[in-house]
Amino acid sequence: MNRVPPVVFHVDLDAFYASVEVLDDPSLAGRPVIVGALPGHRGVVSACSYEARKFGVHSAMPISQAHRRCPQAVFLPVRMERYLEVSRSVMAILERFTPHLQQISVDEAFLDMTGTERLFGPPLATGARLKEEVRREAGLAITVGIGPNKFVAKMVTNAAKPDGLREVTAEGIDGFLENLKLKDLWGVGAKTLERLSELAIGTMAQLRALSEPELAGLLGKGAAAFLYRASHGIDPGIFGEEPQSRSLSAETTFETDRKDRSSVERALLELCHQVAFRMLDEGWQSKTAVLKLRFHDFTTTTAQKTIGHWITSTEELYAVTRALLAARWDGGTPVRLIGAGCSGLERVGERGQLELFVDGMERRRKVEEAVLGIRRRMGDGTVTKASLLDGKERKG
């Protein structure tokens, strides 16, 4: 019996935060939009429109620098609850096409579309239909990258942005990779590019010509294993597989490796916020917090901690994962990726728990439930948790 070749879609909501702002205020269309903080306040760019990117603005850039580069931009605060609301509507559309959906962040997901051709037609036709339904129902543009594994699909998406659709089959992987620049090899950061340049490896062809043992002699086993697989279109496992126990997580890969603790912790807080509100909205509960870290040399570590009661709020999830971060990160090793999540999920009410919560955490959960309720009724993103605003904004 012939084995059905794997087909993976990677879906990315283009410039998501900024696109939602334009969706809610059409007068912003065509203008540079920067989401993160207001000029004169501490903070970094969380997202920006493609119009702002033309001025060299990018995520994680300090707001002060973004303002210098593009003073005519519209600067807006983060409205995480609104973005989560829109994300949920888009993910619901994606789930119509396959039950095998892995959401990896508020604006990205993988869809295992293997064997669905008889239902929806060829992959490119399915991708076009998916894009049309998201645009019609959610009002947003998405890019769809199609490949034989997650890693290739992700790189195809990056090559097709914005508002793109592209497929690379198993037979086309070599041609696709040979036309990429080293900087476009997903997961490769500035430190690795510098080291490759020092070794006179400046093209994909030069990198692909080296065996894994040769790379290990130059870069170490961890980097060699990743680079060899990535440069040959073999999924290095950067996105992982769905765990056996039910889990929910979010992660982000930094455009440049980070060593600044406050910046890394801020990213962790935002991820915890995404996870906590998704759990609340979808009716899950968990006692186990999970942290994922990937460093500049491609080594990856995960840690988890199970506490004695249900995790009840963003603050509690953040407190646990922040402690895990302190235990697993020395503060000096550059961080490439960070993720947060909860595992061992159970449906709320599956067990008859009447627990006493410590440190006021249950009160915080009630606050988040109230925020979610207001968001559902008002739908305008006016309610945002103060913990996701920078210190000066809270004082003002």
The span from the CA of 208 to the CA of 231, in Å, is 6
Q: What is the DSSP letter of 5?
A: P
Give the whole-angstrom CA distance, residue 312 versus residue 361. 6
Q: Is 171 a catalytic residue?
A: no
Cα 118 to Cα 4, 50, 149, distances in angstroms: 12, 37, 20
Instruction: Provide the 10 A C-beta neighbour count for residue 91.
Output: 16
Residues 144/164, Cβ–Cβ less than 8 Å: yes
Our CA angle for 96, 99, 101, nearest 5°, is: 95
Give 223's DSSP letter: H
- Three-state DSSP at 105 gives strand
19-53 burial code (b ≥16 CB/10 A, e <16): bbbbeeeeebeeebbbbbbbeebebbbbbbbebbb
Catalytic residue among 85, 108, 167, 368: 108
Instruction: Give the strand pairing for 335-343 and 33-36.
Output: unpaired
The dihedrals phi and psi of 146, each to the nearest 5 degrees, come to -120, 130
Strands ordered across the beta sheet of 47-48: 47-48, 33-36, 74-77
> What's the CA gap between 36 and 336, in Å, rounded?
20
Residues contacting residue 59 through CB under 8 Å, at least 6 positions apart: 44, 45, 46, 47, 48, 255
Helix then strand then coil, in percent of the chain rounded to 5, is: 45, 20, 35
- Using CA atoms, how far residue 371 sits from 105, 141, 365, in Å, is 21, 27, 10
Active site residues: 108
